[in-house]
């Protein structure tokens, strides 16, 4: 009888816990496993293990932080659109990375003057309209690169979550970047000498572009052969799976939905340890003299 009470108590506690949610980035409505969108954990991070729940910051040299994306610090960035800034120059980066949560009948604002933008759809769908009033639908895994001062509008009828990168475009000679729309699966797999992970890049490698976004896939058990140290900055979003990220001498268990800011010269290494593939999306500055 006593143990029955205990079991009932545990079940009630679990139900109370499961129903706890709010309207922001932390809501976790029940959803059928079969219809679950592929990046479910990214947009519903309350399903994280308890040690990663809530807003957490692990800092390393005060310049590198890793946190789970579940937090409520958001601000209005367009009509019916909230932004949750993850990485900003206040942390020492030269770019911003944020989630844009678009609700029904919402639309984006434009970035400030001379700022380039890349949007990647994590959940839902948006319609992108450019200066020629040509519209196209961006679904999960699609992205668009908007050159600096390129007029555009992102509109959403139902709901969508985008991860957005913006930085002040650094001109080089007479090179100019172009408006690009694409999707991850249409990008070719690239050579990764000495490494086993699968690499795709969302932007051309040509000199005009001052950053790129890498999509890196690791099968369970795979890891980076090289522990890297370099001047480039990174903003990382773990899209699928889980593993162990090393930053300097700290080792962090990470899973889908976690974001990492890696300042220049942070020793970095990753091992995929989950039962399923790990996929992450990584900002990297390229093609410019660091001076
Ligand atoms: C607008 O998008 C359409 C479709 O992708 C493209 O053909 C057109 O060149 C774009 N216009 C501009 C000004 O980039």
Question: Measured in angstroms, how far is the CA atom of residue 177 from the centroid of ligand 1?
Answer: 14
The pLDDT score that the predictor gives to residue 131 is 86
Q: Nearest C-alpha to atom 14 of ligand 1 is from which residue?
A: 179
Ligand 1 site residues, Cβ closer than 6 angstroms: 130-132, 134, 136, 179, 181
Structural domains in the chain, sorted by start: 52-285 (2.60.120.10)
pLDDT along the chain (291 residues), means of 10: 48 40 48 75 55 37 47 71 88 92 90 97 95 93 98 94 96 97 97 94 98 98 93 94 90 87 91 95 97 93
> What integer pLDDT is reported at residue 57 of this predicted model?
36
pLDDT at 282: 97
> CB–CB of 126/150 below 8 Å?
no
What is the residue with the minimal CA distance to atom 8 of ligand 1?
Answer: 132
The residue contributing the CA closest to ligand 1 atom 4 is 134
């Amino acid at each position: 009888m006593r143990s029955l009470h205990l079991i009932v108590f545990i079940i009630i506690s679990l139900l109370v816990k499961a129903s706890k949610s709010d309207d922001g980035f932390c809501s976790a409505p029940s959803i059928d496993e079969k219809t679950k969108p592929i990046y479910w954990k990214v947009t519903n991070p309350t399903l994280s293990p308890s040690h990663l729940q809530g807003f957490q910051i692990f800092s390393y040299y005060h310049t590198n932080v890793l946190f789970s994306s579940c937090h409520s610090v958001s601000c209005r960035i367009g009509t019916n659109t909230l932004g949750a800034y993850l990485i900003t120059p206040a942390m020492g980066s030269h770019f911003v990375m944020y989630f844009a949560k678009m609700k029904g009948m919402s639309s984006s604002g434009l970035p400030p003057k001379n700022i380039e933008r890349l949007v990647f759809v994590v959940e839902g769908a948006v319609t992108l309209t450019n200066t020629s009033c040509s519209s196209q639908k961006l679904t999960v895994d699609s992205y668009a690169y908007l050159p600096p001062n390129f007029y555009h509008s992102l509109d959403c009828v139902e709901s969508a979550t985008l991860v957005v990168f913006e930085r002040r475009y650094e001109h080089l000679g007479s090179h100019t970047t172009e408006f690009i729309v694409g999707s991850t699966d249409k990008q070719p797999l690239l050579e990764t000498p000495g490494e086993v992970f699968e690499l795709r890049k969302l932007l051309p490698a040509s000199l005009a572009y001052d950053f790129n976004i890498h999509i890196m896939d690791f099968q369970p058990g795979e890891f980076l052969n090289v522990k890297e140290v370099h001047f480039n900055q990174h903003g990382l979003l773990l899209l699928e799976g889980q593993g162990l990220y090393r930053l300097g001498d700290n080792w962090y268990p990470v899973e889908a939905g976690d974001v990492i800011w890696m300042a220049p010269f942070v020793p970095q290494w990753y091992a995929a340890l989950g039962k399923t593939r790990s996929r992450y999306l990584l900002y990297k500055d390229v093609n410019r003299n660091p001076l």
